[in-house]
Structure 1
Amino acid sequence: MSSPDALATVTATLKSLLHPLVDDEAKVTTQPPSKARTGDDDQINIFLYSTQINTAFNNAPLPGVTRNGETAHPPLPLTLKYLITAYGANDDDISGQQLMGQLMSLLHDHPILGPTDIVGIMPDSDLDHQTERIRVTADGLSLDEMSKLWASFQSAEYRLSVGYEVSLVLIESTRPSITPLPVLTRGEADHGVIAQANLIPPYPAITDIALLSQQPNAVLGDSLTLHGHYLDGDSVNVRFKHPLLVNPIDVPVLTASSGTRIRIDIPDASADWRVGFYAVEAVISKASGQRVTNGYPLTLAPAITAIAPLNPVPRNGSGAVTLTISCRPEILPQQRVTLLLGDREVPSQAHPAQTDTLIFVVDNAPVGSRYIRLRVDGVDSLLIDRSVTPAVFDSAMEVIIS
């Protein structure tokens, strides 16, 4: 790979290739077309008008540059776009066309810039040491593209020109490679790679969580069945992670688990748990070490344990009712809590400390029977009783306002 001088080296190499076509090397210029024409002799101008990232090599280190296990920063891969213009002596069109034919023939017969062409042009560029070939190909610019290109030169008068593309030029990254130490052992006691003759991933994983209650969300005390593979071990714990928990909750698996199934009950410890979304993991310990599965999502819903006052609930003189709801697990002050009364959503009164009792004031309370749900951080308490067929609303969640 080469240094940032590679762009200038390519231009200088093209200039070196084309100078035998004119009497004087000075008549091969590398100026913008608006400043290129000097004198009345035959002249060739090589203008680098565009550099583009070569997407085929972008963000990919070259093979063979680094050893296995090392990480090298990829080089900057560039494609160079040139506009080459031929000027005939005394601006004669025939002479210009002859010169254009000669230079195109030369580049056609010289499609690769090899080390012998580049060496000595700019010694510090190291372009002659690049492993990837540097190809010179005609760039078929359309008449419209050529016209727009010349129009951008403003004062330049159009002359017979051709586009060429030079690729690939690799500029080496200045960032050092990452070279870790060699591996001493592969696993415990250097047992090497573990092979198995099936398509199951070779690590423990949870693929599904089923609720015995057949409800969409779990509540405290529910029984869970974790399905997956490689879930057996000398000891197994199920870990519950929640954003509001400082430390995750580990529930030991007391019954023997198979490799594909774990059965546990969520402890009914109201003060320790939080309503919301959990990531459930299995922590599997064996003599060879400890492994942790992926986190599988589980939603823990609030459960209403008591409603006060008992039915019927009377309205006060202004038509409002006050409901006191007991629930589990306990609610933190920063959790957003509302009561869904029929089709109305009522915010709870402020609770400055962790609590299992919430107060709701319903203004202009509608008279009649309404079902209630407790919503905590977007998770609703369970309203449907699925233990019977067909499913029905839970009658314990009915509030009658008089």
Structure 2
Amino acid sequence: MSNFLAIATVTATLCRMLQAGMIKDVTGANATSVRPNPTDSGTPTTGVNVYLYQVTPNASLRGWDLPTRSSGGELIQRPMVALDLHYLLTFYGEEIELMPQRLLGSAVKTLHAQPVLTRKMIEQTIQEATYLGKSNLADAIETVKFTPIALSLEEMSKLWSVFLQTTYRLSVAYLATVVMIESEDSPQKALPVRDRNVYVMPFRQPVIERIVSKDGEENPIFADSTILIHGRKLRGDITKVRIGGIDVQPSSGNVRDTQISVQLPPGLHAGVLGVQVFHQFMMGTPPVPHKGVESTIMPFVLYPSIMQIDVSDDPEDGLGLAIKLKPTVGKKQRVTLMMNPMPGSEGRSYYFTAPSREEDSDSITIRVPGVETGDYLIRVQVDGAQSQLAVDTNPASPAFNQYTGPKVTIP
């Protein structure tokens, strides 16, 4: 890579190459590198003037050095910029003898025959120009190459009338590419690598097929239930289960490739919950768990359980039921109460909605105005999950195979 003198070195070497080529064809031809001006001050009487009128980033190498700094802002490699140089070659001489055109032909011939700045040419230019003594363009990996630019009549007219603001002279444009300029800042060197942690992991995404209660596939799932997760590729290096947003790590003895047995964690709410199996991998020095693959989410219904029912009769608020539930009811969950007459008794059914709560609670109070006296079966529905009724399974009982509770007596 080259230092800040690279652009000036290219210009000086180009002038030297053009002058060496033209002097063979036109005696006394000279090459300069000044800005064209109305008085032709500094331009040759007979010869070519090389003017760098534009510099653009090289499209193919732009940003190839990134990243140059770490996330902490520390320099990790020297910044480098790749540039293309746009030159305007203007020819001067006696118009009657067509000198500008003869010089143009000589310059085009020279650049077509030698479109590359060789290291030897650059070194000779640096030796002659003391102000370029510290240039290291000759050591650059990429050599600078020249190609003609086809400027339209409008582009050439704007260049002279707007940009240079002087009378037009016979000119041709060339592109020099690519000039690589590198910063002289020294990046901080990282310590040598002591351990190489390279891992190849097979892609084994766990798949959940169904979720059932350990007590039986037809049994509902309650807060204190153990669930069985059936599927494929469930076992990993570290297997965890996410239930309703709570992560649980089952014991290794309860994890198989096709089934996981896990106790529901505390803190869940009744309703539709999602279950997800995810794997972690031990990596690093020392080894620590890293995120791996995850299954898609499989839903199941967590049913609420009625733990206790108390009847209250407030002189102001009227008749109400205080119901203790498991699991805890979230403050934003919708709770409804359903009351049905006991089997064999007459009466109507009732449906009530619980008022909103300011915080999570395992006990709710629902006012039941207008309920007739009698015995009622009680069900509570939380976000669509309904508590279960008990069934008499004693064949000798008069209420065999009938619902028996939970029940409440309204006085």
Please give the range of the TM-score, normalised by the shorter of the 2 chains: 0.5 to 0.7
In structure 1, the residue matched to 2:358 is: 350
- Aligned partners of 1:102 and 1:129: how far apart in 2? 29
Alignment of 1:3-402 (within 5 A): 3-20=3-20, 21=22, 23=28, 25=30, 28-31=32-35, 33-34=36-37, 37-38=40-41, 41-61=45-65, 72-73=77-78, 75-89=80-94, 94-119=98-123, 120=126, 121=129, 122-153=132-163, 155-177=165-187, 179-183=189-193, 202-213=200-211, 222-225=227-230, 227-228=232-233, 231=235, 236-238=238-240, 240=242, 249-255=248-254, 257=256, 261=257, 263-271=259-267, 281-283=278-280, 292=290, 294-296=292-294, 299=297, 303=302, 305=304, 331=330, 337=332, 339=334, 349-351=357-359, 354-355=360-361, 374=383
Contact 1:205 / 1:293 at 8 angstroms: preserved in 2? no
Residues 35 and 19 from structure 1, CA distance in 2 versus in 1: closer, same or farther, beyond 3 angstroms?
A: farther
Contact 2:254 / 2:261 at 8 angstroms: preserved in 1? no
Residues 24 and 162 from structure 1, CA distance in 2 versus in 1: closer, same or farther, beyond 3 angstroms?
A: closer
Structure number with larger C-alpha Rg: 2
- Aligned partners of 1:301 and 1:256: how far apart in 2? 19
CA offsets per residue over residues 225-265 of structure 1, 9 Å max, x none?
A: 56559x555xx4326499x87xx5433332463xxx36324
Residues 142 and 98 from structure 1, CA distance in 2 versus in 1: closer, same or farther, beyond 3 angstroms?
A: same
**Pairwise CA distance, 1:130:** 0.4
**Aligned partner letter, 2:279:** A
CA offsets per residue over residues 261-316 of structure 1, 9 Å max, x none?
A: 36324532232799988985324679x96664524265578846269xx9xxxxxx
- Aligned partners of 2:39 and 2:250: how far apart in 1? 80
- Aligned partners of 1:101 and 1:73: how far apart in 2? 42
Contact 1:205 / 1:228 at 8 angstroms: preserved in 2? no
- Aligned partners of 1:175 and 1:112: how far apart in 2? 29
Aligned-CA RMSD value: 5.0
- Aligned partners of 1:24 and 1:357: how far apart in 2? 104
State the TM-score, normalizing by the size of structure 1.
0.59
SS of equivalent to 2:86:
strand
Instruction: List alignment gaps of at least 5 residues for structure 1.
Output: 63-70, 188-192, 195-201, 311-321, 362-371, 375-380, 384-402
- Aligned partners of 2:300 and 2:86: how far apart in 1? 63
% same residue? 23
Contact 1:206 / 1:295 at 8 angstroms: preserved in 2? yes
Range that drifts further, 47-56 or 159-168: 47-56
Contact 1:206 / 1:226 at 8 angstroms: preserved in 2? no
- Aligned partners of 2:2 and 2:364: how far apart in 1? 71
State the TM-score, normalizing by the size of structure 2.
0.58
- Aligned partners of 1:181 and 1:46: how far apart in 2? 49
SS of equivalent to 1:57:
coil
SS of equivalent to 2:85:
strand
SS of equivalent to 1:131:
coil
**Aligned partner letter, 1:350:** E
Contact 1:136 / 1:164 at 8 angstroms: preserved in 2? yes
Residues 285 and 143 from structure 1, CA distance in 2 versus in 1: closer, same or farther, beyond 3 angstroms?
A: closer
